[in-house]
Chains A and B, each alone.
Chain A
Amino acid sequence: MATKALPEGFSQLEEFVADWIFATEGERLAKRISTDYAETKRFYSAAIEAAPQALDLLKERPATGEMPDEEARLSGLMLMLAEIAPAVELFGAPLEAGAHDPRKLEIVHEEAS
């Protein structure tokens, strides 16, 4: 059996580890925009179901991200859930029709000085 990438109890999210974890908001936004919406909904369904248990675990971990690799990946998936949640819960599409294009915003807080 392959080594698990996530902590015990999150096997339903294992299949998303390879393609849904990013270090920055800009990368997560790009993933939200470029992914087929049906696939995003599939990720949302798995992630929102696992989220209460995941956040129970993460509330005991520091905000700095210093934690075992398995838990850091779980945290990464939760941040991706945060990025795509409005798409699924509010817009029914990757972006809201008619809204300003987020790709025109420079995400300054992620730039090295």
Chain B
Amino acid sequence: MTEPSFHRFAEQFTDIPRSPLATWIYDSDELFERERNEIFGKMWLCIGREDQIPKTGDFYVKDIDVHKASIIVVRDRDGTIKAHHNVCKHRGNKVEWGRSGKCRALTCKFHGWSYKLDGTLADVPDEERFFGFDKGDNGLKRVNVDVWRGFIFVCLAEKPELPLNEFLGEFGQNFADYPFEAYPTCFTYRTEFSCNWKIVTDAFQEAYHVPHVHGKVLTDYHHDPELHLLESVSFDKKHATFAMPSAKEHRATPAEALGLQHSVNIAAAISHVENADENPEQPKMWGFVGNRVFPNFFCDVLDGLYFTHEILPISKNRTWYEHRMYFAAPHSAAAVYGQEISKVMLRDALLEDLSTLEHTQAAMESGVLDRFQLQDEEIVLRDFYKTIGEVTDMDCFNLEHAKDLA
């Protein structure tokens, strides 16, 4: 039997660079401008879930700061999701000022112009005093919007380069039967960081960090020194899927163990998949499968829960971030306890992930390091920068470029 290779992913994916990643990429005005245009201005971006606006007239406002875009996402009368620029066609005032709510019509407070949920202009006070005016030409400007399995995507380009299902590729096909609707209980955390958006994405694309930065919360990785090694990796379009192996057993803390009698949590969800394999009659089981939906969305699915990370640049070194955890509806007051401890432990683990980001940005701006050396298990990260390079036409592995900037 041959020894397993230490470079198994490099051998599998020979076109992904093994050379060090350049660090000017986190502090480059030129690259940021290209990312702004080529990525955030052109690609589909996941901005939430349909169940945030379940009924006709429910809406929320989504800001995409890097394009100074404010978007009203609303449930129309026919049940579909519509997205409009939050800009009144009269003199450009913001139509909806709140973050979310419920409305019968979208009405601008400046001069009272009122739009239907589908964006068509319905009522203009003193309409007859305008000149050669046609209400039909003055609906709210539409934003391209589409929905995949309840996830709402928008695209700021006039015309998306690909329809959403083609953009999502194999990810969309492979995860179409994941039971997202079975986990309607959502907990949402939001914050901003003083760092480049890519440093936030870096935190969620490898498991090399898990035994270390999560040494206190995810203790199973201490007991099994190979548990953090990825089980499989696949790439399609610009997206990536990486699966983590199941723990043979999960050693729960006392308070956690009590919760697990009534609910599920991340560590238990990873470890119980092993047992499920013994019964092929059971429905498809998910261990921990991380999905990078390029450019800025992560959808990590497990058995019994899933969670997402959404990352949006505000400026070169300022980033907006939202984390959502989704659980089943609790069936008893004891299950509410179980869910609470799952949530708190996942939240506290997230705080470990987030601990490094601003330190890294400060270090990059100090110029102490010109490169990051990435190992085989960081393959998804290396693919991310290969992809960023292709999209922006700036090679993220080109160490010499820093000298051009200096």
- Give me the interface of A with B, judged by CB distance under 8 Å: 25, 48, 51-52, 55-56, 58-63, 65, 67, 71, 75, 78-79, 81-83, 85-86, 89-91, 96, 98-102, 104-109, 113
Q: Which residue of B lies closest to A65 (CB)?
A: B333
| Contact status A63-B329, CB under 8 Å | yes
What's the tally of chain B residues with a CB closer than 8 Å to chain A?
45
Residue of B60, B329, B344 with most partner-chain A CB within 10 A: B344
Please give, as numbers and ranges, the residues of chain B lying within 8 Å of A63 by CB-CB distance.
329-333, 335-336
| Contact status B99-A58, CB under 8 Å | no
Contact of B332 among A62, A106, A107, A113 (CB under 8 A): A62
Give chain A nearest CB distance to B194 CB in angstroms: 11
Give chain B nearest CB distance to A34 CB in angstroms: 17
Contact of A55 with B262 at beta-carbon distance under 8 Å, contacts A62-B333, A78-B337, A106-B189 already known: yes
Q: Binding site of A, secondary structure by majority: helix, strand, loop or mixed?
A: helix
Residue of A51, A91, A100, A106 with most partner-chain B CB within 10 A: A100
Please give, as numbers and ranges, the residues of chain A lying within 8 Å of B322 by CB-CB distance.
108
Given A62-B333, A113-B99, 16 extra CB contacts under 8 A: A59-B335, A67-B333, A71-B333, A82-B343, A85-B256, A85-B344, A89-B253, A91-B216, A96-B348, A99-B352, A100-B353, A104-B191, A105-B191, A109-B186, A109-B187, A113-B98
Residue of B216, B333, B343, B344 with most partner-chain A CB within 10 A: B333
Contact of A82 with B344 at beta-carbon distance under 8 Å, contacts A104-B191, A105-B191, A109-B186 already known: yes
Please give, as numbers and ranges, the residues of chain B lying within 8 Å of A48 by CB-CB distance.
254-255, 258
Please give, as numbers and ranges, the residues of chain B lying within 8 Å of A51 by CB-CB distance.
255, 258
Contact of B348 among A60, A98, A99 (CB under 8 A): A99
**Complex: A63 Cα to B338 Cα, angstroms:** 11
Contact of A60 among B332, B351, B355 (CB under 8 A): B332
Please give, as numbers and ranges, the residues of chain B lying within 8 Å of A83 by CB-CB distance.
340, 344
Q: Which residue of A lies closest to B342 (CB)?
A: A82
Please give, as numbers and ranges, the residues of chain A lying within 8 Å of B216 by CB-CB distance.
90-91, 96
Query: Is B89's beta carbon under 8 Å from chain A?
Result: no
| Contact status B341-A96, CB under 8 Å | no
**Complex: A48 Cα to B390 Cα, angstroms:** 54
| Contact status A75-B333, CB under 8 Å | yes
**Complex: A108 Cα to B189 Cα, angstroms:** 6
Query: Is B360's beta carbon under 8 Å from chain A?
Result: no
Q: Which residue of A lies closest to B356 (CB)?
A: A100
| Contact status A86-B345, CB under 8 Å | yes
**Complex: A105 Cα to B321 Cα, angstroms:** 10
Please give, as numbers and ranges, the residues of chain B lying within 8 Å of A86 by CB-CB distance.
217, 253, 344-345, 348
| Contact status B334-A55, CB under 8 Å | yes
Please give, as numbers and ranges, the residues of chain B lying within 8 Å of A78 by CB-CB distance.
337, 340
A-contact bits for B245-261, CB 8 A (1 contact / 0 none): 00000000111101101
Q: Which residue of B lies closest to A91 (CB)?
A: B216
| Contact status A99-B355, CB under 8 Å | yes
Contact of B341 among A52, A82, A98, A99 (CB under 8 A): A82
